[in-house]
Amino acid sequence: MGVSKEEAAKRIEELRQQIRYHEKKYYVDNDPQISDYEFDCLVKELEQLESLYPDLITPDSPTQRVGEQPVEGFPSVVHSIPMLSLDNCYNQEEFLEFVQRIEKLLPGEKIEFVTELKIDGLGIAIIYRGGHFAQAITRGDGFRGDDVSANVKTIRSLPLSIPLQAEVEVRGEIYLPFSSFEKINQEREAKGESLFANPRNAAAGTIRLLDPREVAQRNLDVFLYYIFVNGQSQESQWQNLQLLKELGFKINPHVRLCGSVKEVIDYYEYWKDRRDDLDYDVDGIVVKVNSTRQQQALGSTAKFPRWAIAYKFPARQATTKIIDIKVQVGRTGALTPVAILEPVQLSGTTISRSTLHNEEEIRRKDIRIGDYVLIERSGDVIPKVVSVMKERRTGQEKPFSFPTRCPVCGSPVFKPEGEVISRCINPSCPARLRESLLHYASRRAMNIEGLGEALVDQLLAQKLVQSIPDLYHLKKEDLVKLERMGPKSAQNLLDQIEASKHQDLARLLYALGIRYVGERTAQTLAEHFQSLEALSKASLEELLALPDIGPKVAESIVFFFQQKENQELIRRLKEAGVRGEAKVTTEPTAQPFVGLTFVLTGELEHYTRDEAREIIERLGGRVTSSVSRKTSVVIVGRNPGSKLQKAKDYNITIWDEEEFLRQAGLEK
C-alpha cells in the first residue's frame, strides 16, 4: 500500500470517525447504515494502515478494543465516589413506606421520580480522561473494585472516546443478552464443560477472563445510568441520562420520568408482566428521586442512598425437594434427566418438574434424590436447578445412577466421544418413535393436521404404527375403532396424510429429524441438491462448501444417510409415494429481502404465519421468533402482541400486511 505517513494519518482519522459513527448506529441506536461487509472493510483498511505506521496507533482506535494480551490478574482500585448498593422492597406496601420516608424528610416539596429497569448484571464504573477511555472498575465491595479495563473495552456499544475533555466517570450495568447466554451454554455443553446457571453468572465469569480476545467473543453489553463530570452529577437523574445519550452512551430505552407515585406503580406493573419480552434479565425496577438537590438533602445511610430503591419483581426462584429423577428419551435418542419435585409456586405457576440437563450436570452439582434445591425460572418454560442445599441433608438422600440402557426399550446407551449427552441407539425405540412421529407431522414439517399427541399414543398402543412409513398404510376401518375417531375424522386424517406425500424436499428433510438440521439448513440442502438421492450421496467436503453448514452438521448428515435403518426408512417412504421433490417455481428470481431479518406478530388476513414465512425465505429473507436489535422489519397483523411495542422501542421498521405484500410483489 503505497501511501505516505501524512496521507495515512489523514485517512486513519477519517476511518476512525466513520467506524465510531457506524458502531454507535449499530450497537447503540439499533439503526445500521451500512452492511456488515462494508463495516468490516472499513476496519480492515484501518488495520492495514496502522500496521504500516504503528506509531499512529492510539489507545482509543477501534482496532484496539481487543488489542491487549492476556493479563496476569486484576489490580484493586479504590472508587473515587463509593458505589453504594440499593435497598430493596418486594411489594407495594414496602414501596409506599419508602415514599413516605422521603416525603417526611422533604415536607411540602414536589417530588419527581425516574424509573429504570433493574438489569440483573454486573455493576461497573468507567473513567474517561481527555475524552478517551482510561479505566473500568467493577463495583467490588462498593469502595474498592478490580481494574477490568482490557475486558470492558471489548464491549462494542461502549465508546472509546467521547466529545468531552473533562474527567468523566460513567456507571452502569454490564449484562449478557439471553441470545448470547444460550449460545455460550450450548458451546460449553458440546465441550462437556459445566453450564452457567444464569446470564448474570455468565457475565461475571466473562468479565474476569484473563484473555480479552475470549471476552470479545462472548458479546457482553452495557447500559449506563449515571455520569459524573469532574466529580459532579447533573441537576437531575433525568439530565444525567440525557447527557449520557448525547455523549454516545447506551442507556436503557425504557427509562421513564414519573410525576407521581401512581405512574411509578403503573411502570412496575407494566414491566412485571412483560419482562420476558426482553433479551436480557431484569429482576425489578429502580426508583430514584429525580432532583440531585433533593438527593443530597436525603443523603445516605451507611449502606444505602435514601433517595433510591430497588422495587423487586416476584421471585423467579423457589426452594423445593426432589422426590425422584426420571430419564426421558427424545426423538434423537437423547436421554434427559428430569427432577420430579414437590409442587411449588414460582412466577405464578405450579412447578413440579425441572430439567437436570445431563449426567455431567448431576455429577457436577452432586444432585441426589431427596435433596432440597433452589430452582429458578428465568425466561424459560422449564425451570432449572440452580444449586443444592447440602446443609439440609439428613443422610437419607440417594445418589442417582444414570442408566446404561434405555429406560423405554432396554437398548444400550451410547455417549459419543466429546459429548455430554447419552443416547439410545435403537431407531425403533417407542419413545424415539413417538417424538419422531409428532415432529414428522408438525406444521413446519409434513403438516399432517390432526396427528397430535393423543392420536399418536393410540396408534402406538394399538401397534397400528411401528415406524413413520406405516402412516401411509393406515386404513379407515382401523382408525374408526380408536377413541374419539369417527368416520369423518378418520377420512380427514387420511386426506391429510395423502396430501403430505406432495410436500417439498426442504420440509421432508426437516421432518426426517436429521440431527442439527433445522428448517433453514433443510432449505439450503434442498436448494443445492434438488433431490434426496443426491443428498444421500454427498461427501463431507461437498457439504462443508455450503453456507451455514459446519463440520458438526455435515458429519451428522453423512452419518444419517450411512445408517441402514435410515436407508430403509427412505426406501419405504418412496414406495409409499413420498417424493420430496425440490420446489419448481416460475416466479421472478429477484430476492428483495436478502439480508433482512423479519419477525411476525398478530394474525394475517391473507396468509398463515407459515405461508408468510415461506414467502419471506423464498425472497431471500430470514424469520426469527423474537425482536432484537438485529431485526430489520416487524410485520404486524390483527391483535399483535408485545413484539409491536418492542419494535417501536427499538425504532425498527414496521409493516402492516398490505405493505408486506407490496414489498413482496404480491399485492392483493
pLDDT tens, position by position, 468-493: 999 999 999 999 999 889 999 999 99
For 227, 416, 539, the CA distances from 190, given in Å and listed in that order, are: 41, 11, 24
CATH number corresponding to 5-64? 1.10.287.610
**Which residues lie below 8 Å from residue 2, measured CB to CB, with a gap of 6+?**
none
**129 has pLDDT over 90:** yes
For 228, 286, 294, 310, the CA distances from 236, given in Å and listed in that order, are: 12, 15, 9, 19
Q: Which fold has domain 597-664?
A: Rossmann fold (3.40.50)
Q: What's the rounded Cα separation, in Å, for the pair 60 and 57?
A: 9
pLDDT for residue 414: 84
Q: What's the rounded Cα separation, in Å, for the pair 162 and 128?
A: 8
**Which residues lie below 8 Å from residue 588, measured CB to CB, with a gap of 6+?**
665
**645 has pLDDT over 90:** no
pLDDT tens, position by position, 596-612: 899 998 888 888 787 88
Query: Which residue in the block uniquely carries the three cell numbers 465441550?
Result: 191
**349 has pLDDT over 80:** no
pLDDT tens, position by position, 318-340: 889 999 999 999 887 889 999 99
pLDDT for residue 347: 63
pLDDT tens, position by position, 291-319: 999 999 999 876 789 999 999 887 667 88
Residue 26 grid coordinates: 449499530
pLDDT band at 626 (very low <50, low <70, confident <90, very high): confident
Name the residues annotated as catalytic: 118
**Domain-wise residue ranges, the chain:** 5-64, 87-312, 317-399, 430-575, 597-664
Cα 518 from chain centre: 17
Q: Under CATH, to which class is 430-575 assigned?
A: mainly alpha
pLDDT for residue 407: 93
Q: What's the rounded Cα separation, in Å, for the pair 188 and 215?
A: 15
Q: What's the rounded Cα separation, in Å, for the pair 331 and 337?
A: 15
pLDDT tens, position by position, 385-435: 888 988 889 999 999 999 999 999 898 888 877 778 888 877 678 888 888
Higher pLDDT, 643 or 137: 137
The percentage of the chain sitting over the pLDDT mark of 70, rounded to a whole number, equals: 92
Q: What is the DSSP string of 429-470?
A: -HHHHHHHHHHHHSTTTT--TT--HHHHHHHHHTTS-SSGGG
List the beta bridge partners of residue 354: 339
Q: What is the 3-state secondary structure (H, E, C) of 93-151?
A: HHHHHHHHHHHHHCCCCCCCEEEEEEECCEEEEEEEECCEEEEEEECCCCCEEEECHHH
CB 450 within 8 A of CB 493: yes
**588 has pLDDT over 50:** no
Q: What's the rounded Cα separation, in Å, for the pair 157 and 65?
A: 11
What Rg, from alpha-carbon coordinates, does the chain have?
A: 29
Q: What's the rounded Cα separation, in Å, for the pair 431 and 452?
A: 15
Q: What is the 3-state secondary structure (H, E, C) of 356-418?
A: CCCHHHHHHHCCEECCEEEEECCCCCCCEEEEECHHHCCCCCEECCCCCECCCCCCEEECCCC
Closest CA to 225 of 308, 327, 293, 326: 308
Mean residue pLDDT across the chain: 87
What is the rounded average pLDDT of the residues 63-91? 77
What is the rounded average pLDDT of the residues 38-60? 84
At residue 46, the 3 state secondary structure works out as: helix
Mode of pairing for the β-strands spanning 597-601 and 622-623:
parallel
pLDDT for residue 380: 44
Q: Which fold has domain 317-399?
A: OB fold (Dihydrolipoamide Acetyltransferase, E2P) (2.40.50)
Cα 249 from chain centre: 23
CATH 3.30.470.30 fits 87-312, yes or no: yes
Q: What is the DSSP string of 254-315?
A: T-EEESSHHHHHHHHHHHHTTGGGSSS-EEEEEEEESBHHHHHHH-B-SSSBTTEEEEEPSP
Q: What's the rounded Cα separation, in Å, for the pair 111 and 308?
A: 12
Q: What's the rounded Cα separation, in Å, for the pair 261 and 263?
A: 5
